[in-house]
Amino acid sequence: MIYVIGIGPGDIKGITIEALEALKSCDIISGYKVYVDLVKDFLPPKNFEVYPMKSEIKRCQDALKFSLAGKDIALISSGDGGVYGMAGLMLEIAEGTGQEIKIIPGVTAANSAGAILGAPLMNDYVTISLSDLMTSWEIIEKRLSAACEGDFVICLYNPASHHRPENFKKACEILLKYKSPETPCGYVRNIKRSEETHEIMTLEKIKTCGKIDMLTTVIIGNSQTYISNGKLITPRGYKI
C-alpha cells in the first residue's frame, strides 16, 4: 500500500494523529530530506528513503516499486499532500497499476499562516502559487487578476525563489491595479520551524519588504480585511 501523508507545516505538534499512526505503521518513509528530518526522531527505526529537491517523479516511481514488492510505503509532503504536494502525481503515476493509494491530509500552510496572522481566511479565499516552473506566468497573472475581481482573500504559495526573485514584486504590481495600497497583508516565514517570523503590513509595503522567499506564505486581504490588536481579521459578516 502507498500512503501519501501530509505532515503539517513544521514541528511534530502540527501532524494529525491519523498521519502519525500511518507513518509509524509503514515499512518505508520516503521524502525530501528536510521533511524526513522533521518526523524522523518521532518514529521507530525505519527504512528512510531520502531524496533531493525536484525528484518528485522518481520518488513516486520508486514508491510504486516498493509497494508492488509488498511494502507499505509513506510518501511525505509538508502541509497537505494534496496542496502543491505529492498526492496528484502519485495517483497519476499509479494509474492503471491497480495499486491502492491512501491519502492522509495535513494542515496546509495557508491555514497555519492564517492562524498566526489572526483570522484572515474567514471568508472566501483562493490560493495561488507563484511558481512558474509548471504553470506559465501568463496563467498566474490571469489568476491573480481574477482573484482580485472576485475580491477574494489571496494566499500566495511559492512566492519567490533564488531563480525567480522578481515574481513576488510582479504579482504585487498586478494586485495593486485592483486593490488599495493600504490593503492589509501579512507573511509568515518558517511556520512551526526554527526561526518562525511573521509581520503584518500594507500591500504597498510588502511588495518591497525584502522578506519574502520560498519558505514564506503570504496572505493578502480582501476589501473588508482590517487590522485589530496586531491581527488580521476578515469579517464573515456577523452583526455584532
Cell of 148: 482580485
Nearer to ligand SAH (CB atom), residue 18 or residue 182: 18
Beginning with the edge strand found earlier in the chain, give each strand of the sheet holding 197-202 in spatial order. 125-129, 153-157, 216-220, 184-189, 197-202
**Closest approach of ligand SAH to the CB of residue 1, in Å:** 21
Which residue ranges make up the site for ligand SAH (CB under 6 A)?
A: 9-10, 77-80, 83-85, 108-109, 157-159, 188-193, 214-217
Q: Residue number with the shortest CB distance to ligand SAH?
A: 79
Nearer to ligand SAH (CB atom), residue 16 or residue 190: 190
Nearer to ligand SAH (CB atom), residue 78 or residue 222: 78
**CA nearest 153: which of 201, 120, 188?**
120
Given its phi and psi angles, is residue 135 left (phi above 0), alpha (psi -120 to 50 degrees) or beta?
Answer: beta
**Closest approach of ligand SAH to the CB of residue 47, in Å:** 23
**Closest approach of ligand SAH to the CB of residue 74, in Å:** 15
Cell of 172: 504585487
Nearer to ligand SAH (CB atom), residue 30 or residue 77: 77
**Closest approach of ligand SAH to the CB of residue 175, in Å:** 16
Beginning with the edge strand found earlier in the chain, give each strand of the sheet holding 118-119 in spatial order. 118-119, 231-233, 226-228
Nearer to ligand SAH (CB atom), residue 47 or residue 197: 197
Length of the chain, please?
240
Residue 154 and residue 212: Cα distance in Å, rounded?
A: 15
Buried/exposed 6-38: b ≥16 CB within 10 Å, e otherwise: bbbbbbeebbbeebbebbeebebbbbbeebbeb
**Closest approach of ligand SAH to the CB of residue 189, in Å:** 6
